[in-house]
Amino acid sequence: MSAPVEVRRFLHVNYNCTDIELLERFYVESLGLRTVMKSESSGSDATAFGIYGVATASRAAFVYDHRGGKWSNAFELVQWIEPMTIGSVYPSPWCPGIQASAYGAEDLDGVAQRAVQHGGAVVRRGATWVLLTDPEGAYVEVQQAAGPSEAKYLRIVVTDLQRSVEWWKGIGFTPTDLPAPPTAELWPETDGRVVTAEQAMVPTDDRFGIILTTWSGDTPIGPTYAMPYHQGLYRMAMAVDDARGAAATLVANGVGRQNYYTFQLPGTKLTDGLTMVFIRDPDGILVELVDRPRIGPRP
């Protein structure tokens, strides 16, 4: 890309699930997050997501940390009703895709206990971190931190680190260091595979970012989640100043024909809906660029 599209900050990561109440309780009770808004839709046109000829129905809950919707990345928990949520989360941590969400929390013992009480599991534990799976099998990295729980980053497994770094630079991300548990302890050798490299990156206005990660061994058979109603961490939504302008810039930079869409969100405060454009990273992960103006400096 010759001139980057400036992604300013994360808005949410979409998590398709089969039991929205169970998953919502897990994140609220285990990590002290809170549900800020909910939405239900029926008879919706989902052509923009690649669903043709089907009037879709779904339920969504947006779960944030203590900073709320204006300043923190959310989980957009979505339970698909028509068509129903299908499949299961990636079977191995080296499968390309969004593999884990990460949080900072003060009381790791309490987080671990509550996670198990609400249907999750402790995978492994270190002095200053704990790796969990939630009730539907997605990984959650939790590191020791002072104060209320906060969302920190997404761990994304990629097949070619340098290619992915350059792609993310092209939409305004900058390589940086993000506080994270020691990777070799958090993700030790498994089935003869090890983490070979990683790079943290953040958008312009955000402290929440991504950690691109590669593993040794052959690339697993199969792409990232192909269907928008596949269970697991499916797509990421990020704020840009002008989604229509972003679409034009992406076309000029050779990212193919990108249309923008306006979606209605019944039951929320966003009465005018959201205008957005969809692109995919080099491994096929869906990235959603959303029309959201700046609202001032981050706290």
Structure tokens at 172: 């305004």
What pLDDT, on the 0 to 100 scale, is given for residue 247?
78
20 by DSSP, 3-state: which?
A: helix
Cis omega (within 30 of 0) for bond into 83? yes
Q: What is the mean pLDDT of the chain?
A: 89
In the chain, the domains with their CATH numbers are: 9-291 (3.10.180.10)
Among 12-21, 233-242, 262-271, which range has the highest average pLDDT?
12-21
Task: Supply the DSSP symbol for 71.
Answer: T
DSSP for 233-278 reads EEEEEEEES-HHHHHHHHHHTTS----EEEE--TTSS-TT-EEEEE
Chain segment 2-14, per-residue pLDDT in tens? 456 778 889 999 9
Listed residue (193, 211, 194) closest to 202, CA to CA: 211
Tell me the per-residue pLDDT of 123-157, one tens digit each, with 9 for 90 and over: 999 999 999 999 999 999 999 999 999 999 999 99
pTM for the whole structure: 0.91
Taking alpha carbons only, the member of 117, 182, 190, 175 closest to residue 143 is: 182
pLDDT of amino acid 1: 47
Dist CA 123 CA 132 (whole Å):
5
Q: Which of 185, 171, 192 is nearest to 253 (CA)?
A: 171
| Interval 179-208: pLDDT, tens | 899 999 999 999 999 999 999 999 988 789
Residue whose structure tokens are 């402790």: 122
Residues β-bridged to residue 61: 38, 77
Residue 194, Cα to own-chain centre: how many angstroms?
A: 23
The average pLDDT across 87-95 equals 96
